[in-house]
Amino acid sequence: MGASSTHAAADLPRAAHLPDIDRYDTFPKLLRYNAEHLGDRPAMREKDLGIWQSWSWSEVKTEIYRYAAGMAALGLQRGDRVAIIGDNRPRLYWTMCMAQALGAVPVPVYQDSVAAEILFPLEHSEVRFAVVEDQEQVDKLLSIKDKLPKLETIVYDDERGVRDYTHPFLHSYEAVLEEGDAKLAAEPGFVDAEIDKGQGSDVSIIPYTSGTTGNPKGVMLSFSNVMKAAYAGAQFEGLTASDDCLAYLPMAWIGDHIFSYGQAYICGFCVACPENSDTVLTDLRELGPTYFFAPPRIFENLLTTVMIRMEDASAIKRRIFHYFIDHAQKVGVDILNGRPTPFLDRLKYRLGELLIYGPLKNVLGLTRVRVGYTAGEAIGPDIFDFYRSIGINLKQLYGSTEAAVFVTIQPDGEVYPDTVGTPAPGVEIKIAEDGEVLFRGPGVFLEYFKSPEATEKAKTPDGFVLTGDAGFIDENGHLRIIDRAKDVGKLTHGGLFAPKYIENKLKFFPNIKEAVAFGHERDYCAAFINIDLEAVGNWAERNNLSYASYQDLSSRREVYDIVKAHVEQVNRDLSKEEMVAGSQIKRFLLLPKMLDADDGELTRTSKVRRGFIADKYKPLIDALYDPAAREASISSEITFEDGRKGVLEATCLIYDAETYEGAAGAAAPKAAAE
Amino acid sequence: MNDSGAAPAAETPTAAAGTVGRPNRIGEVILKAENITMRFGGVKALSDVSFDVRRGEVRSIIGPNGAGKSSMLNVINGFYQPQEGSIWYLGKSYSPMRPYIAASNGIARTFQNIALFKGMSTLDNIMTGRILKQKATLAEQALYIGRGRSEEIEHREHVERVIDFLEIQAVRKTPVGRLPYGLQKRVELGRALAAEPTLLLLDEPMAGMNLEEKEDMSRFIIDVNEYFGTTIALIEHDMGVVMDLSDRVVVLDYGSKLADGTPDEVRNNQAVIDAYLGVAHD
């Protein structure tokens, strides 16, 4: 790479249709602006009792004012932290604005975490107030309340089941609003005066990073960080008040905060909350958002579901589907990228749009999508191209909590499946000597809350942030990410070992849900594989293979044979790439249980925690590298959804997979391993 | 009643005082089964069984297979007509009770083997629970005018509240035949709830469920009881569930009442232990 080079994008000029964020420099100020300029336009929707209910910007403003006054009456003060725990609900989004109006700092927490996991962020951020969704979250807090001496007040949204709780520190949302009315009657100008005290340089939110290693860190972002990043992103994509988005990803994830809160306030568009977490796909279809974001996992799941349903369709439908999907794969991406395509191909694509792509997009709820982002992890090129080929403008985004999301974005017309795009407006990117990616920009966080050492490690003196990802800038000026810098290793014969690269290739098969590759300082590469219960289960059903459970299905030789074919396909692909030809998978096994965040194997954002898995499944790894072993046993602790623990005992088979000679004749894995 | 040694405890109104945090929940007696005897040909399914149900309580009927539990429930809502005995309900005595009287007076039930309309959606199935509340004429309903329209909206809202309560929004429009068993049970509970019952009879609400489904269902039963104040009489085989949920328990064996009292009293009753575990002969 030579001496570190900087790649930067120029700032865009201010957009005429967006508010001046130097003047309206906090979200509560934007709330006032939107209530004044977009008064009757919908700000928030939620499906309740089967009907989409909506709130206009002026209604939202009134509600937040009452709420803020009520919370002030309960003792919420400037500088306090307020925990927010729950699914995406309008009232929880309003809690963010309410806290910011009073100068308090919201701390969103992953709602599906078990009590022991939410303890750390709550304790570390010293929250005095918590606003939670329902009884489940209240119970969770009550179970750890004695370890949180600073926590004084809990406010809940849904009173079901909580109504009879007698704890004096529990308040219902409605009761808080009533308190607010009383306070506002006495001091009508109270909330406005509080909002005026806020400044762009104040801390606006402290999201906690999911923490692939060690404890989560609280990332302090100022209003200016969040707003400038969100503004630049909105401007880049031309978002306006007439866009629509569905807020269904965890509120504690910075992406949701930027897309469903930051950009919604800046552009004034409407954010819809699903009825509950099971209805997201139905709600998506009903709503038809124009702005959509999802981690690769969701796109994978959608595609898997579509493919399974097509397997069950009649032969004629299946033929038509595959005929046009094949055509789309040939020309669809070029058409979307605006490249010249033969007239007949275009015509056939139009016909496909009428017969297949259009209806398919409609079923998926993606018909109106103008801007679709996938972020959080690398998406499989096949999956990515599938969506783009049927005309969905899906783009990759590279970001981090420390950057208030945007580091790079793929610009329209310059979308390549294997890069994450060019630097976002105002962002500078630098590649360090060792290949690590560094960035600097308006969204760069202030510091980690109460951990100056961690801040020092993550931020260079000149304001660049170390991402921990290894990557390079390619000939088109696009950033390519290889893997987590610390995960990239070497095989004993010297070949590069990039686990995520291999795992992603495996995960592109619908039958494979998750994979974990090993190989650093080993003779060859081996892998754990989680099958996809839906896909493989459907296959088993069609082939009259009966099974009792996930564990049972994972231990079938028939299933192993399918997965073996996939692994060998991956090996063939790897053999063609000089850099990674040496890391073909020689042995693999199917894990008897799904990797799960509740067991600490995945982060809450569903990233694999390698170190933890390597420790927990050590006997299995040893067996993978023991040439004599044909099977291995494991007894592992599992956590049920309600937090109880159980023990899983299982024996897995170990299969060998064929490896292939590298095309370039680079490293010969067969020779090295035998 | 030969073996009703533990019965007296049921007479004390404070019997359920052990249930914490739900004070003053249990009120007066709303239903009494009085000396019910029920024969099918030569088989005596119930012989001289008497017990009562108080407002707001969760009352369980337990017993080994063939003890007469389902028969008892069927007698209460008039589905079976016993040869002897009567049902006293909200101040009136019926001998026998008739199903339409039970239904129109606020007794709703679910069945041991799910009895839903398989081809209809969850929403429509639950809507059938509102039929007794509909006053509109056939013409009004068919043309969607007058009361037909206003009632439809009102009932739909009520049904949506039930759907929300039971967290089955995701299957609102799915035909129930396509739902897994546990969810079908929940839909059936929803239909019973849609009738806004005073007394809810649940016939083995957790039969055939896995642990997670059982926990969900227990939660819903408690919530129904607390949130709507509905009195619940249920039959259940899972002892853990019964002991956790119930305020009072009646134990039947071979058609006779064996014991009656709080879960603790029943658990320690020698006759019950013998009936469940058998008696050692040595």
Which of A104, A86, A89 lies closest to A27 in space, CA to CA?
A: A104
Residue B13's pLDDT is 37
Asked if the C-beta of A644 comes within 8 angstroms of chain B's C-beta atoms, the answer is no
Give the residue on B whose Cα is nearest the Cα of A644.
Answer: B212
Give the residue on B whose Cα is nearest the Cα of A163.
Answer: B227
Position with higher pLDDT, B105 vs B1: B105
Cα separation, B164 vs B142, whole angstroms: 28
Cβ contact A276–B163 (<8 Å): no
Q: Please, what's the largest Cα pairwise distance for chain A? A: 84
What is B134-187 written as a DSSP string? Answer: ----HHHHHHT-HHHHHHHHHHHHHHHHHHHHTT-GGGTTSBGGGS-HHHHHHH
**Cβ atoms of residues A660 and A644 within 8 Å:** no
- Chain B nearest C-alpha distance from A645 (Å): 14
Kindly report, residue by residue over A512-534, the tens digit of the pLDDT. 989 999 988 889 999 999 999 98
Cβ contact B169–A276 (<8 Å): yes
Q: Is the dihedral of CA A319, A320, A323, A324 positive or negative?
A: negative
**Cβ atoms of residues A95 and A131 within 8 Å:** yes
Distances (CA, A) of A22 to A18, A163, A402, B210: 12, 44, 22, 57
Among A49, A282, A641, the residue with its CB nearest the CB of B164 is A49
- Stretch A301-317: mean pLDDT: 87
The Cβ of residue A263 has, within 10 Å, a number of other Cβ atoms equal to 27
Cβ contact A278–B170 (<8 Å): yes
* Residue A589 pLDDT exceeds 70: yes
Residue A52's pLDDT is 94
Burial profile A198-224: b = 16 or more Cβ within 10 angstroms, e = fewer: bebebbbbbbbbbbbeeebbbbbbbbb
Report the topology of domain A296-367+369-484: Rossmann fold (3.40.50)
Map out the domains of chain A as residue ranges.
8-290, 296-367+369-484, 489-673
Which of A392, A376, A237 lies closest to A302 in space, CA to CA?
A: A392
* Residue A644 pLDDT exceeds 90: no
The interface residues of chain A toward chain B in range 403-432, judged by CB-CB distance below 8 A, are none
SS3 state at A525: strand
**Mean residue pLDDT across chain A:** 89
Cβ contact B169–A642 (<8 Å): no
- Chain A nearest C-alpha distance from B39 (Å): 42
Residue B17's pLDDT is 35
Map out the domains of chain B as residue ranges.
1-14+28-106+197-282, 118-196
Cα separation, A463 vs A330, whole angstroms: 44
Residue B9's pLDDT is 38
Distances (CA, A) of A143 to A140, A225, A271, A298, B101: 5, 35, 33, 32, 47
* Residue A663 pLDDT exceeds 80: no
The Cβ of residue B2 has, within 10 Å, a number of other Cβ atoms equal to 10
Residue A670's pLDDT is 41
Cα separation, A316 vs A310, whole angstroms: 11
- Stretch B61-65: mean pLDDT: 87
Among B156, B161, B167, the residue with its CB nearest the CB of A276 is B167
CATH superfamily ID and name for A8-290: ANL, N-terminal domain (3.40.50.12780)
SS3 state at A603: coil
* Residue A31 pLDDT exceeds 90: yes
How many residues comprise chain A? 674
Among the residue ranges A269-283, B83-97, B119-133, B138-152, the one predicted with the least confidence is B138-152
**Cβ atoms of residues B248 and B262 within 8 Å:** yes
Residue A3's pLDDT is 42
Q: Which two tokens stand for residue A42?
A: 């919908």
Asked if the C-beta of B240 comes within 8 angstroms of chain A's C-beta atoms, the answer is no
Is the CATH number of domain A489-673 1.10.3720.10? Answer: no
- Burial class for A612, CB neighbours closer than 10 Å (0-12, 13-18, 19+): middle
Cβ contact B172–A50 (<8 Å): yes
Which of B268, B265, B270 lies closest to B14 in space, CA to CA?
A: B265
- Stretch A161-178: mean pLDDT: 91
Among the residue ranges A109-118, A300-309, A421-430, the one predicted with the least confidence is A300-309
Cα separation, B26 vs B16, whole angstroms: 8
Q: Which of A275, A277, A285, A312 to mutate: most B Cβ within 10 Å?
A: A275
pLDDT band at B282 (very low <50, low <70, confident <90, very high): low
**Cβ atoms of residues B3 and B256 within 8 Å:** yes
Residue A58's pLDDT is 96
User: Which residues in A lie closer than 8 A to residue B164 (C-beta atoms)?
Assistant: 48-49
Residue A492's pLDDT is 85
Q: Which two tokens stand for residue A386?
A: 């599938």
pLDDT band at A672 (very low <50, low <70, confident <90, very high): very low
Residue B184's pLDDT is 93
Which of A472, A480, A653 lies closest to A556 in space, CA to CA?
A: A653
Kindly report, residue by residue over A200-244, the tens digit of the pLDDT. 999 999 999 876 566 889 999 999 999 999 999 999 999 999 999
Position with higher pLDDT, B260 vs A606: B260
User: Which residues in B lie closer than 8 A to residue A278 (C-beta atoms)?
Assistant: 169-170
* Residue B143 pLDDT exceeds 50: yes
Q: Is the dihedral of CA A224, A227, A230, A231 positive or negative?
A: negative
* Residue A444 pLDDT exceeds 80: yes
CATH architecture of B1-14+28-106+197-282: 3-Layer(aba) Sandwich (3.40)
Give the residue on A whose Cα is nearest the Cα of B172.
Answer: A50
pLDDT band at B4 (very low <50, low <70, confident <90, very high): very low
pTM for the full predicted model: 0.81
Q: Which two tokens stand for residue B90?
A: 């909200």
- The two domains A8-290 and A296-367+369-484 share their CATH topology (first three levels equal): yes
How many residues comprise chain B? 282
Q: Which two tokens stand for residue A292?
A: 């959509």
Give the residue on A whose Cα is nearest the Cα of B174.
Answer: A282
Q: Which of A162, A164, A166, A167 to mutate: most B Cβ within 10 Å?
A: A164
Residue A114's pLDDT is 87
Which residues, in sequence order, are CB contacts of B54 under 8 Å at separation 6+?
B13, B26, B27, B28, B29, B30, B231, B247, B248
Radius of gyration of chain B (CA): 19
Cα separation, A22 vs A27, whole angstroms: 12
